[in-house]
Chains A and B, each alone.
Chain A
Amino acid sequence: MSAETVADLVTRLEQHPFTQGFPTSALDKLTQAATLQTFQPGTFLLREGRDADHFYLLLQGQAAIELYLPERGVIRLQTVGPGDVVGWSWLLPPYRAAFDVTVINTVQAITFDAARLRRLLDDDPTLAAHFLRRLVAVIAQRVHATRLQLIDMYAVKGGRP
């Protein structure tokens, strides 16, 4: 990777909410596992049940976290956009995605190679601490939102549970 590309990636990482405020040395290190990519509408960032070999920081565009049920079709659970992250199944064995993530509007993202990223985190506890703290925050926020979704808060009173 050219010095220019690395510098560009570092700038983008500095601006992304997920990596904002990381020490510059940490961002430099992260670029070793990162590339800037564009994904067309209809393509998948992740497929349910298959290898979760990438982690994404979204810069532009929109994607959807979905599940396909033959009985009901595609269920769109949540949409994500610029500033969001996609994927955490890459962090824990068996490294398998739990959902489909489909591109809705052309996505520009910083794509991390999961294996390399894991090695970087294993080798550098400080980087790992920064990284995991941010990821836990994202997970907590998603779980919270999911529970609210589950209670079906706009349901008509007395309707089905």
Chain B
Amino acid sequence: MMPTPPSPAAQPTGPTGNAWVPIPFTVVRRRREIPGTVTLWLAPPEGYPFAFRPGQFNMLYVFGVKEVPISISGDPGTPVPVAHTIRQVGMATQALVNLKPGDVVGVRGPFGSAWPLEHARGHDVVIVAGGIGLAPLRPAIYSLLRHRPQYGNVVLLYGARSPRELLYARELERWRGRFDMEVLVTVDRGDRTWHGHVGVVTTLFPQADVFFSPQNTIAFICGPEIMMRFTVRELLDRGVPPERIFVSLERNMHCGQGLCGHCQYGPFFICKDGPVFPYQKLATLFGIREI
């Protein structure tokens, strides 16, 4: 039996040179975003070419600690210094979050598949993000806005746990002020200072419905898997074709090259075949316990 031909979204853009050996990048800027989450800007060595496609990730190595996959969250139009928004969850991410300008990290990448912006041309684009899931989608948003006339309506639905955990809040406000983009924001739990929508991200759909025509829509989703599962269903119910719904998955990764086996999800290596997948490919796997 022949392997399934890779989807256009699964064409990897490999790192330059040997994919095993990290390149030293220097932290040139650090910004605290929300509690426990920091954006680092990393500059490559003089003359080192670095480019990426929205949705791809790098493997970041902190000297003496370990290496972790982190999605790229900056503008692909100005790829360096490369921006990574990192949430502290374990030892390695803690070390990353604590870095200061001038510190050096090892970078391998970029790895993985990208949000298929080339397939989005002429379509309405619905972007649904949950929590830190906005970070790997931000490069796609930058790209869409840069080439705005190529696309139909652009709608961003963003949900976070609470108002103080809204990532890129100032940017969200800026985007919301544009006449060529719809931005709907919600929080799972509000407080009295919050005048916006309260409810899980799928509760934004009734408001969002007027902004896109489902049959002509392409959707990009990133967030906790349960949020993606429920969002996919909302989109399918509205008639968005399953082959135009894309999600981004996360798993333990050691190599980024589809060799170490850790990130397997059904027949896929998330690092090489993903992290961005058309939902259609995952339909039979999504939701199987402990897959």
Residues of A within 8 A of B (CB): 47-49, 67-71, 74, 94, 96, 150, 161
Contacts and interface: CB of A to CB of B under 8 A. Distances in A.
A71 B229 contact: no
Contact of B287 (A49, A71, A94, A161): A49
Contacts of A96: 233
B51 to A, nearest CB: 31
Contact of B229 (A48, A74, A94, A161): A48
Contacts of B189: 150, 161
26 contacts: A47-B287, A48-B229, A48-B287, A49-B229, A49-B233, A49-B286, A49-B287, A67-B226, A68-B226, A68-B287, A68-B289, A69-B224, A69-B225, A69-B226, A70-B225, A70-B290, A70-B291, A71-B224, A71-B225, A74-B289, A94-B237, A96-B233, A150-B189, A161-B162, A161-B189, A161-B191
A48 B226 CA distance: 10
B148 to A, nearest CB: 34
Contacts of A49: 229, 233, 286-287
Contacts of A74: 289
Interface of B: 162, 189, 191, 224-226, 229, 233, 237, 286-287, 289-291
Nearest to B164: A161
Nearest to B165: A161
A125 B225 CA distance: 41
A115 B2 CA distance: 40
Contacts of A48: 229, 287
Contacts of B162: 161
Given A48-B229, A49-B286, A68-B226, 4 more contacts: A49-B229, A69-B224, A71-B225, A74-B289
A48 B291 CA distance: 15
A60 to B, nearest CB: 26
Contacts of A47: 287
B118 to A, nearest CB: 29
Contacts of B224: 69, 71
Contacts of B237: 94
A49 B286 CA distance: 9
A120 B130 CA distance: 41
Nearest to A150: B189
B66 to A, nearest CB: 20
A68 B291 CA distance: 11
A94 B236 CA distance: 10
Which among A47, A69, A70, A71 has the greatest number of chain B C-beta atoms within 10 A?
A: A70
Nearest to A68: B289
Contacts of B225: 69-71
A38 B286 CA distance: 28
Contacts of A69: 224-226
A27 B174 CA distance: 60
A71 B133 CA distance: 13
A149 to B, nearest CB: 13
A67 B191 CA distance: 27
A161 B226 CA distance: 21
A67 B200 CA distance: 15
Contacts of B229: 48-49
Contacts of A70: 225, 290-291
B289 to A, nearest CB: 5
Contacts of A94: 237
A59 B289 CA distance: 28
Nearest to A94: B237
A70 B226 CA distance: 8
A94 to B, nearest CB: 6
A47 B288 CA distance: 10
Contacts of B233: 49, 96
